[in-house]
Amino acid sequence: MRRLTFRRPDDWHVHFRDGAMMKAVVPYTARAFGRAIVMLNLTPPVTTAALAEAYRARILSCVPEGVSFTPLMTCYLTDHTDARDLVAGHKAGIFTAAKLYPAHATTNSAHGVTSVETIMPVLEAMAENGIPLLTHGEVTRPEVDIFDREARFAEEVLAPLLARLPGLRVVMEHITTEEGAALVRAHAGRMGATITPQHLLYNRNALFQGGLRPHMYCLPVLKREQHRLALRKAATGGETCFFLGTDTAPHLRHLKEADCGCAGVFSAPVALAAYLQVFAEENQLDAFEGFASLNGPAFYGLAPNEERVAYEERPARIAEEIEVGEAGRLVSLFSGEAAPWSEVSEKRT
């Protein structure tokens, strides 16, 4: 039985939602990770420092007693974002970064940015003040095939923006393509990228095996096998520009299985087991701590967590569903199956 001890990781891309859902899902992330970058695409979105500070307090109220966890807040960018509020919120320690959702690209992105040109003064202020830009990297024009959206975003939006604002630091979140990985690699130092467990484990066949699989539907969607292999190489290859970000995105089961189901994979309960499976399959367990615990903090200028955790290659069966009060139920990654790795709780110090 293989065992691995490493610094407590951080999750650099998390959706907690709000209300009953938040109360149900925060403990899974808080118990596994020291910090998490929190997405603020609520309804309505969190667009100011005051709203972010209030949301952070609500998140902290859901952290289990005795668990040390720090939510890191982002500003949801819109065409009308106040650059002064963003900069002031960053200087006050409220905002860690700002998030660019192209309008209508994914869940609760209707208030997102219609054009990068529209928010250029905000991006210039971010570059001047060292505020990282986090991007949902897809173009949303109807003529662009959904499987090509990320590659087109890298070419049409990000590459020109990087050239125009050389001081801007960018995270391309949840990359799904070899083109996305190549762009980040070419700008390593000022660019980073998060990679989700589902995009490392599955290609787009998983969406259609034996029928439509709504719990495997996320945005950006799963891609061809060549892209999955490129992502595995990026994640496990020891390159510091790539780091862990689950994009865990809870939606109630009945909303996922509807005739117009929601996009998102809820992976928080099994995220570390899923990543460890990938690194074990690639015979790169020695590189896991860098990807999970070191590269992200280094990009954001933070110290890594000192606490150590241990996992062993011991299967543990995952519940079919997770109750969310009276609202409904959640289905997680590996639901009803065995997660291949388990935490060795007595090894935590």
With contact defined as beta carbons under 8 Å apart, do 340 and 315 qualify?
yes
> 247 catalytic, yes or no?
yes
With contact defined as beta carbons under 8 Å apart, do 182 and 228 qualify?
no
Return the number of other C-beta atoms located less than 10 Å from residue 269's C-beta.
24
Q: How far apart are CA 200 and CA 221, in angstroms?
A: 12
Which one of the listed residues 82, 148, 247, 286 is annotated catalytic? Answer: 247
Tell me, letter by letter, the H, E, C secondary structure of the chain: CCEEEEECCCEEEECCCCHHHHHHHHHHHHHHCCEEEECCCCCCCCCCHHHHHHHHHHHHCCCCCCCCCEEEEEEECCCCCCHHHHHHHHHCCCEEEEEECECCCCCCCCCCECCHHHHHHHHHHHHHHCCCEEECCCCCCCCCCHHHHHHHHHHHHHHHHHHHCCCCCEEECCCCCHHHHHHHHHCECCEEEEECHHHHHCCHHHHCCCCCCHHHCCCCCCCCHHHHHHHHHHHHCCCCCEEECCCECCCCHHHHCCCCCCCCCCCHHHHHHHHHHHHHHCCCHHHHHHHHHHHHHHHHCCCCCCCEEEEECCCEECCCCEEECCCEEECCCCCCCEECCEECHHHCC
Residue in 35, 25, 93, 37 with CA at minimum distance from that of residue 62: 25
Is the alpha carbon torsion for 332, 336, 337, 343 positive or negative?
Answer: positive
Active-site positions read 247
